[in-house]
Amino acid sequence: MKIVRSKILQGDKIIWSVYILFIFISIVEVFSSMGKEVASGSFVPMLRRHCLWLLIGFICCFIAHKSDYRKLSKYLNILLGVSLTLICIPYFAALVKNEPLSLARWIKIPFPLMNLQFQPSEIAKYVMIFYISSVMASNQPKIDSKEIFWRLMIPLGLVCGIVFWSNFSTTVLIFATCFLLMRIGGVNKKYLYLTLAVLIVVFGLMLLMAYLSPDVAHRVGRLGTIVSRTEGHSATDISQITQSNQALMAVATGGLLGRGIGNSIQSSFLEEGHNDFIFSIILEEGGIWLGGFIILLYIILLYRMFKTAKSVNGYFGAMACCGMGIVITLQALINMSVAVGLIPVTGQTLPFISYGGTSFVFASIFLGVVINISKRAEEGTAKEENLQEITPEENDTAFDENKTPD
């Protein structure tokens, strides 16, 4: 029996389907959520730019899924060094311009047609996942040793420590993903939980100090922003015109079936309706059923990545799939929780749907790597199936035909 496989889009077809669905949803919802831009007549360039980035992201995903993911592990030390360098650049630029370090998130590169800007923490987020997967894969016999724990924790601590000064939510996302990945991978749980406990105590003391001394809060990274957003969220006055209240109003008016695609009212008041609060617009226009459908897509994506992790013949590929599934799901969960008012505003986008360029491209590249892993897993399964189809007689004949003479 010959197994017919697509030569164009290879790998897990369900992951491909979810990814392409996300792209179509992104185009529709970003267009629909540009209320303020429509009013000013500037939505066409923004939408065109967004569609261009979606196309670039898809092409990058396609190229990545055709490459051999196993070769990536050879360059992860270099990529980690590049990531650390990139996340430091905005801080050096801020120091030169005498600007607050807490706002140093972006690297801006001028281009003839448009200014390219990106958050280097987006690259570091995915590189850390693959770096930790690679280290755990190459050190399986001593995975629970203190040596491996520090080999994983030192780079993670450097990345999180640097990112913390400008982006607390991304720091939490990176650490939570890598922590869960190390726990799944078999790193000594005593060291992991002890580290987590120390970090919670230290951060708790920092928050206490920030509450007691506002001057300290605004000097130490994003502590001031964390305190102000937490206080604002816990003492929300629904009569105030804030982004969070406008988002909640969008969710409340959507109901079960929603207003209909393109009929959003709150998008005219939400400055980040096409970005951080796009899930609020989705719930307003599509209601609970569309919001539930998108949640289901993320669950399916997580399930398929974990299924690929179980079937692939290789520890590095398995851990990389788990890590990508965790980070995408956690980020989506954070964004949705902000949209419905469960947690304070974080600035995390909805993966593959929110307006954005480079963040979508980076996510697409590493998703393409996961699809390549699923492709290798399918090829391994196909080989096993073909071997099972050969009878003992056929196997003996094949051996005799290929046997070299004495």
Distance CA(261)–CA(251), nearest Å, equals 14
List, for the chain, all residue ranges whose pLDDT scores fall below the cut of 70: 1-6, 35-43, 111-115, 214, 216-222, 233-241, 381-406
Identify the bridge partners of residue 110 per DSSP, sorted by sequence position.
115
For 4-21, what is each residue's pLDDT tens digit? Answer: 455 788 889 999 999 999
Q: Which amino acid is at 153?
A: M
Distance CA(223)–CA(148), nearest Å, equals 31
* pLDDT of 115: 65
Residues 6+ apart with CB under 8 A from 198: none
Q: Which amino acid is at 3?
A: I
Q: Helix-strand-coil percent breakdown of the chain, rounded to 5? A: 75, 0, 25
Asked if residue 339 is part of any domain, the answer here is yes
Residue with tokens 């957003």: 229
For 311-339, what is each residue's pLDDT tens digit? Answer: 998 899 999 999 999 999 999 999 999 99
Identify the bridge partners of residue 108 per DSSP, sorted by sequence position.
117
- 3-state SS string for 94-138: HHHHCCCHHHCCCEEEECCCCEEEECHHHHHHHHHHHHHHHHHHH
Identify the bridge partners of residue 116 per DSSP, sorted by sequence position.
109
Identify the bridge partners of residue 107 per DSSP, sorted by sequence position.
118
Distance CA(198)–CA(120), nearest Å, equals 27
For 274-285, what is each residue's pLDDT tens digit? Answer: 888 899 999 999
Total domain count, the chain: 1
Distance CA(144)–CA(136), nearest Å, equals 10
Asked if residue 241 is part of any domain, the answer here is yes
* pLDDT of 15: 96
Nearest to 260 by CA among 280, 288, 287: 287
* R_g of the chain, CA atoms, integer Å: 24
Distance CA(238)–CA(247), nearest Å, equals 11
Asked if residue 85 is part of any domain, the answer here is yes
* pLDDT of 79: 94
Cβ(380)–Cβ(313) below 8 Å:
yes
DSSP symbols for 365-389: HHHHHHHHHHHHHHHHHHHHHHHHH
Asked if residue 392 is part of any domain, the answer here is no
Asked if residue 387 is part of any domain, the answer here is no
Domain range for 276 is: 13-376
Asked if residue 293 is part of any domain, the answer here is yes
Q: What's the predicted TM-score (pTM) here?
A: 0.88
Asked if residue 7 is part of any domain, the answer here is no
Helices and strands, counts by H and E, the chain: 15, 2
* pLDDT of 276: 85
Distance CA(373)–CA(105), nearest Å, equals 32
Asked if residue 37 is part of any domain, the answer here is yes
